Structure 1
């Protein structure tokens, strides 16, 4: 890694590649160390051995940067020169997109014209409206229940309440009249005049 003192901006250079971040440069250094270790330990001169190293490196995803991929390309070239065909070798996977594109590029024309936010807002309004209607329906039901079961007079139960009340009064008056007649009999009073009639005495 080297630093560009003229611009004051640090450059991350590993194996002839300049990386954007220190993290990427560290990954490249790791790939370089893995390559040196493989070359020191595996003296692959036979095509079968080279193919085994090539395939294991790809299957185990050992390399993460262009330095490692370049090493795999070298192994692939040796295998092709030794008589292997393209179909015999597994391809080198690149897990990085080489084309910069925004999320808008993956949308079709209709999706680009119509923004997504209003749809979400419309869905929210619809759901809110449905919930509000359900709550209002429940409230109306509760109000009707209270109105029907309440003992106070209201527009729905006034006739029933008044009828019950007058029936109760009539029964009470009948009971009192019976009690008064029984009391008069016991006392020997035979009153023929009503209570509201004038007796003519002061």
Structure 2
């Protein structure tokens, strides 16, 4: 396994620098090719020409790896040797942080300390929710009991109420018909059922 790691990491070596990832190694290779291009095209022998190349490279952010920064350091040293003051030369910007950074380090002491959870509040909320659920269940049961025993029609007792009403009407009609027939007998009126049959 260690041999594999060694072979993999050797693929990320560019110009004597070993990089942590393939993307970084590719950026370094790009910087190396830019340096070769500058050497072939720009013949800067005068200090003012060197300064112009140095400043343009910094302004345009041409180099992004230590290989490019090393080239800029060489140009800077040539400028200092040729008589430029260090304060007059633009410093080489390094846009990366070399120290490990964690979001936890930025927090204030008060933010780092986690407050203890208040268990009393949690217990109260648990008990309150249990009681509330129990009360809601009781209310729902009561609603069903009231709906089932109510005399007014609702979705639960509609069928039984209609059936009961119909049977009571039917019974009332039969009792009235019986009384009418008894009254007809007393008065001597003949049975009129044939009359009703003909009209049907």
Normalising by the smaller structure, the TM-score range is 0.5 to 0.7
TM-score by length of 1: 0.53
The residue aligned with 2:82 is 82
1:24-35 correspondence to structure 2 within 5 Å: 24-35=24-35
Large movers: runs of 4+ above 3 Å: none
1:1-202 correspondence to structure 2 within 5 Å: 7-9=3-5, 10-11=8-9, 12-114=12-114
Unaligned runs of 5+ in 1: 116-202
Deviation at 1:113, TM superposition (A): 1.0
TM-score by length of 2: 0.53
Tell me the distance in 1 between the aligned counterparts of 2:81 and 2:41: 23
Tell me the distance in 2 between the aligned counterparts of 1:25 and 1:51: 28
- SS in structure 2 of the partner of residue 61 of structure 1: coil
Tell me the distance in 2 between the aligned counterparts of 1:13 and 1:49: 32
Tell me the distance in 1 between the aligned counterparts of 2:72 and 2:38: 12
- The alignment of Structure 1 onto Structure 2 pairs a total of residues equal to 111
Root-mean-square deviation (Å): 1.5
What per-residue deviation string (whole Å, max 9, x for no partner) do you get for residues 47-71 of structure 1?
Answer: 0000000000000000010000000
Higher helix share: 2
Deviation at 1:6, TM superposition (A): 6.3
